Amino acid sequence: MFKVVFEWLADLIYKQKCVICGCSKTNELLCKNCLKTVHNLSPFAQKIIEGVNIFCAFKYDGNIKILIRNFKFNRRKNAAIPCAKLLYEYFKKVCESNGLDLNPENSVITCVPSHPLRVLNRGYCHTELISREFSNLCGIKTDFKIIKKVKNTLPQYKVRANQKAKNVRGAFKICPNHARGKTLILIDDIVTTSATLFEVISNLKKHSYNNIICFTLAC
């Protein structure tokens, strides 16, 4: 009885708010009303970079844009949970529609990382948090030692489209390891001109990571 009362009081005091609208009525990080407004893109590749299929779960607008911006710029660290859940639901649709067998035995999850100084400033690497939550849902292990960001570039949204490729050139270092024999599931938050993903994927290919599939939350 004490445990039930304690949990009820904790919910009352520390009620979770929706990371999009701020509603706390349902005690959820993504309320049902906001969830109704987001709709998946096609479960087929939206882009192909260096022969790698890029699957984007949503268009970067509306409530998805609010969700990502709150996560990246407003220090809403717990937004990683709804982000990962949305991506995982899309992931299942992609696997079913494309006949993909991405399981814990033949796959590993990694992400496009932030530079250590950016992580220090924000307090966390947002793509790594999404990847960890995504891993918890799908049961595929993570490996964040494969890709390191070694150049503290300007944020891509601050760079002109024709300068984005130059901005990220040489920004990433690949650290080859045992994961090269598996399917590499590469996760990122947003893809726009594809400059960052092109740089990362090109470098992975140079180090014999030939079986790559990429999932982004939005494009």
Q: Is the pLDDT of residue 7 over 80?
A: no
Q: How far apart are CA 116 and CA 104, in angstroms?
A: 28
Around Cβ 14, how many Cβ atoms within 10 Å?
9
The predicted pLDDT at position 9 comes to 43
The residue-averaged pLDDT of 75-90 equals 94
The residue-averaged pLDDT of 185-209 equals 94
pTM for the complete prediction?
0.89
pLDDT tens for 86-100 read: 999 999 999 999 999
Whole-number average pLDDT of the chain: 89
The residue-averaged pLDDT of 149-165 equals 84
- Beta-carbon-side half-sphere exposure of residue 14 (alpha carbons within 13 Å): 5
Contact 40, 216 (CB under 8 A): no
**Nearest partner of 191 among 56, 14, 3, judged by Cα:** 56
CA dihedral 172, 123, 137, 147 (to 10 degrees): 10
Cα–Cα distances (Å) from 55 to 46, 177, 211, in that order, read: 6, 25, 15
Contact 112, 195 (CB under 8 A): no
pLDDT bracket for residue 177 (50, 70, 90): confident
Q: How far apart are CA 148 and CA 6, in angstroms?
A: 44
